[in-house]
Amino acid sequence: MSTHAADLPASHSAAWIVQSWLSFALSVGVTAAGIWALPVDLWVKGFMAMGLIFTVGSSITLAKTVRDQHESERLTKRIDEARVSKLIAEHDNLKPGF
């Protein structure tokens, strides 16, 4: 079986990884600071902070689910491709059909 460029996992640059983490940390930090600075009662701040935490958690879960689904589809396609390659390799045109 040959390895195609499309079969190799995508590699991210160090700059992209740093930018992604900084963007995440900055967005959560600034939102948390904004919630803390709101001129409302502590229970309202707590409710909004809880909403922020659940939003971040569900976003991470969604990203993982989408990635896992994509990897599963890639694996299924590779297995199907291997089966077809095996059938083609086993096929003998000179063998009489029954």
How does pLDDT run across 62-89, given as a tens digit for each residue?
999 999 888 888 878 888 888 888 777 7
Helix residue ranges, H only, the chain: 14-37, 42-90
> Is 0.85 surpassed by the pTM of this model?
no
Q: Is 87 exposed, middle or buried (0-12, 13-18, 19+ CB in 10 A)?
A: exposed
What is the distance between the alpha carbons of residues 6 and 17, in angstroms, rounded to a whole number?
A: 21
Q: What are the C-alpha distances in Å from 94 to residues 88, 90, 97?
A: 14, 12, 9
**Domain range summary for the chain, segments of one domain joined by +:** 42-90
